[in-house]
Structure 1
Amino acid sequence: MIRFFVPTALATLVLVGACRQAEPPAETVKSTPAAPFEAPRLGVYVTNETSGDLSVIDATTGTVVGVVALGKRPRGIAVSPDRTTLYVALSGSPPAPPGVDESTLPPPDRTADGVGVVDLRQMKLLKVLPSGTDPEVVAVSHDGTRVFVANEDAAKASVVDVATGAILESFSIGEEPEGVSVQPGADRVWVTSEADGAVFVIDLSTHKVVTSVKVGPRPRSIAFLPDGSMAYVPAEKGATVTVVDARTLKVVTAIQLGEGMRPMGTAMAPDGKFLYVTTGRSKKLLIVDTATNAVVSSVEAGARPWGLAIAADGKTAYTANGPSNEVAVIDLEARRVTKTIPVGQGPWGAAFVQRP
């Protein structure tokens, strides 16, 4: 089961990859975490699902400067609008990758479920908010007062009050909800359902699910144009990205990514000109021109890239490559990997933060 992140103008998620044949090989950077440490001015924050912690990368030097202990299975990560707080989905459900007989798995530890709150000024986990069962991906409201959680096992999307820690309400979403994103410029939250092959749209002003829109099989995430006018939803088993008009809630087109592509994570360039798509086992970062809705380039990012973060200036992408326990650093202008950075075990989600 796979993970996602909510892009914003200052903390966006992105993926990247392959060196051109003529390019020199990527540099591998090894680093020893420092303790205690301060959050870097330009930081990349990576959740490590297996080791249960957060790797903090100084984007200027390309080194890990510290590690924060989080809890069980940290996956989705989101940044507060004021860039002072990280929210991380923590789950006590045992990992159940495709092909595993879930009846053979140990029982879930529901005491481990929640949303971790990490203070970037103190660089520590402050508390864990309630979340509903098996939280996988989180998003933050425009005003920073609420966190939206996809609860995969429960087929629910929860709304959590940041100040009180109360679950304000929950919405029934199709089976296996995963991706969750807040629509720019609107009071709407979009949630993907892997099992239903659809994206559900919640209107927060009316407290109702407005509709569900059929996309491709096993949708993983949602990215928006900066003005919120179009949504892009990848289908891992369909090798497509469905483009949805966010005003009419109608499908515009399905972008064909090519045979063998398994799209998962998505992130929009800050200027909206390109959509970046990670492809997991296909190892690629795909680059889509949003003016033509066509794939214009690809980069080999490494082993199973999923979570991605893009720098605030739109020039660099970072992909969480789970099997190799590393983050790939991608020059988006040269379209090549420039280095890899060792992190914790099972990197899953990534976020870029430029501190105020």
Structure 2
Amino acid sequence: MKRILALTISLGLSGLAALPAWSGQAPGPSAAADIPISHHDRVYAAEQFSNTVSVTDPADNKLLGVIRLGAPSPANFSPLYRGQLLVHGMGFSPDHRTLAVVSIGSNSVTFIDTATNMVKHTTYVGRSPHEVFFTPDGKEVWVTVRGENYVAVLDPVSFEEKTRIVLANGPGMQIFSPDGKYGYVCSSFVPEIAVISVADHSIVGKVAQASPFCPDLAATPDGAQVWFTLKDIGKTQVFDARPPFKLLKTLDTGPITNHVNIVRNANGQFAYITVGGLNEIQVYRTDDFSKVATIPVGKLPHGIWPSGDGSRVYVGLENDDQLTAIDTLTNRVVANIPIGQAPQAVAYVPDAVPTVRESGNGAMSVMDEASSPEATNLQRLGIAGEVAHVAMAPVGPASEGTKTLTSVSLFDQGLSQVLQAAATGLEPKHNYVLALASHSDGSGKLEPLAGFMTNPAGSAIVNALGPIRQIVQSDTPDSRRYLVIAPGSMTEIGKPVQVQAP
């Protein structure tokens, strides 16, 4: 069996050279051959507020550039705007030559050639699609149309919609059994997963979700299990991937539980789960569901995907504008790569680029990024890499045992910013307001920015738009304001419970 030389070189772990490779990484079957990390591979991240897709070479964890699918605000407010908006979901073809990218705001699926980074086609579907993936045989592309009640089934050659699979409201994400027999579709509005026969598009089973809001799910390469996350209540559930699709386990994973994916390595088969409210990755065995690791990462981890040999997983940090690489044998972070604004889905595509330029020692030769063939049709980060960060702390002395603070990112759009707060540590299912206060302790006049209700885990993702960075980071005392979170509504605000940290 082949040896994991790429991992040995990149991490300097010479003792690993004696270990054999392990087979079959998600979304493929366990019988598939592993693909060692190389310069032919690419890691893609869909970036929601810069409307970009970042392209990273995992062999040296280097950002090659971004594919710009749309413009930042306010250009995308125009009635004549033709770019994509809120770039979010992602999947890839079985031959690894086509990347499919969902943009929620423009109701689109953009198909990109992985070898050239060129857009091949854009298909427009129904309201607010969320995720997209090819069936294992490559004959269909399924798009969950979360703002409506169906999966749009596209032809992968013509890119046109050929049929719809009608489901309950809010289908959020789909993945397939490794053998291609079943499609599993979770919901963001109705607490049930539909199991669909890929052959005839009939619903052959349903699985109860513990809550209505499932953002992501993953099937194990051995074909035995499906893991899915529940963002609103901070739990992860597992069910048998085969009839009668029995629920196997419910895990308490924490506030803003985001995505899950599966890794097979020399130590076994594991589920890696991003928990945004705790800024960590939790790792569980799939045989006995025991937690084996908790990996601290940056702010608001979201999408996650394994390398083609399972030696690493890559995680998008939504409120840190970074891609984090984790060695799965040590469960330690080995790299943080700057990327675009608010990464959502992440996809690791092995052998995405069939031809790359290498020097005599097998490494990439050095030349300017802008002229590099590997960066063909890519752009530099530019404004997509500009962001300011603010933390929110409890009013008064911090409570004993408090693990996390609300993180706030201000994604630059020019003179204005998109504000995103990952609010945690609040009362469940209560109304709150993100506001500006006159004084650093939260006292004085409050100016509301956005009202929100927390989920059952006491957390929420909150957005606002405006020249907020200039106000909350001003050096002029008369114009300086401070971010606060207070209970109440936009018209009736209570006393702040969280304030901007120094």
Q: Tell me whether the two structures share a fold, i.e. TM-score over 0.5.
A: yes
CA contact (8 A) 1:52 1:74 kept: yes
Tell whether 2:165 aligns with 1:171: yes
Tell whether 2:224 aligns with 1:205: no
Tell whether 2:27 aligns with 1:8: yes
After superposition, the C-alpha distances for 1:242-263 in whole angstroms (9 at most, x for unaligned) are 22112223334223235x3442
How many equivalent residue pairs?
Answer: 303
Letter in 2 for 1:68: I
Seen in structure 2, the aligned counterparts of structure 1 residues 64 and 158 have a Cα distance that, compared at 3 Å, is: same
Q: What are the residue-to-residue correspondences of 1:102-181 with 2, within 5 Å?
A: 112-181=106-175
Q: Which residue of 1 aligns with 2:381?
A: none
Q: Distance in 2 between matches of 1:234 and 1:113?
A: 24
Tell whether 2:248 aligns with 1:253: yes
Q: Which residue of 2 aligns with 1:216?
A: 210
1:352 shift after superposition = 0.9
Please report the TM-score for the alignment, with normalisation by the length of structure 1. Answer: 0.80
1:237 shift after superposition = 3.1
Pick from 327, 344, 358: which aligns with 1:331? 327
Structure 1 unmatched ranges of 5 or more = 1-5, 11-38, 93-111
Q: What are the residue-to-residue correspondences of 1:80-91 with 2, within 5 Å?
A: 80-91=93-104
After superposition, the C-alpha distances for 1:207-261 in whole angstroms (9 at most, x for unaligned) are 2222321022122222112132221122223333222112223334223235x34
Q: Distance in 2 between matches of 1:223 and 1:283?
A: 21
Seen in structure 2, the aligned counterparts of structure 1 residues 334 and 207 have a Cα distance that, compared at 3 Å, is: closer
Q: Distance in 1 between matches of 2:127 and 2:133?
A: 16
After superposition, the C-alpha distances for 1:13-63 in whole angstroms (9 at most, x for unaligned) are xxxxxxxxxxxxxxxxxxxxxxxxxx9412111111111111111111111
Pick from 216, 227, 235: which aligns with 1:240? 235
Q: Which residue of 2 aligns with 1:345?
A: 341
Seen in structure 2, the aligned counterparts of structure 1 residues 252 and 91 have a Cα distance that, compared at 3 Å, is: closer
Q: Distance in 2 between matches of 1:42 and 1:121?
A: 10
Structure 2 unmatched ranges of 5 or more = 1-24, 30-37, 70-83, 355-502
For residue 319 of structure 2, give the secondary structure of its aligned residue in structure 1: helix
Tell whether 2:103 aligns with 1:74: no
Tell whether 2:331 aligns with 1:318: no
For residue 151 of structure 2, give the secondary structure of its aligned residue in structure 1: strand
Letter in 1 for 2:317: N
Q: Which residue of 2 aligns with 1:189?
A: 183
User: After alignment, is 167-176 or 49-58 more displaced?
Assistant: 167-176
Q: Distance in 2 between matches of 1:287 and 1:172?
A: 34
Tell whether 2:291 aligns with 1:292: no
CA contact (8 A) 1:9 1:270 kept: no
After superposition, the C-alpha distances for 1:282-340 in whole angstroms (9 at most, x for unaligned) are 21111010110122211112211111121112111111111111111212222122221
Q: Distance in 2 between matches of 1:116 and 1:7?
A: 22
User: After alignment, is 82-91 or 246-255 more displaced?
Assistant: 246-255
Q: Following TM superposition, where does structure 1 have runs of at least 4 consecutive aligned residues deviating by more than 4 angstroms? A: none
Pick from 271, 277, 280: which aligns with 2:273? 277
Letter in 2 for 1:132: G
Q: Distance in 2 between matches of 1:147 and 1:264?
A: 23
Q: Which residue of 1 aligns with 2:51?
A: 52
Q: Distance in 2 between matches of 1:79 and 1:52?
A: 18
CA contact (8 A) 2:136 2:180 kept: no
CA contact (8 A) 2:170 2:187 kept: yes
Higher relative contact order (CA closer than 8 Å, sequence separation 6+): 1
1:174 shift after superposition = 2.5
Query: Identity rate of aligned residues, in percent?
Result: 23
CA contact (8 A) 2:206 2:245 kept: no
Q: CA RMSD in A?
A: 2.0
Q: Which residue of 2 aligns with 1:304?
A: 300
Q: Distance in 1 between matches of 2:157 and 2:174?
A: 21
After superposition, the C-alpha distances for 1:59-89 in whole angstroms (9 at most, x for unaligned) are 1111111211222221111111111110111
Q: Distance in 2 between matches of 1:186 and 1:42?
A: 24
CA contact (8 A) 2:283 2:294 kept: yes
Letter in 2 for 1:77: M
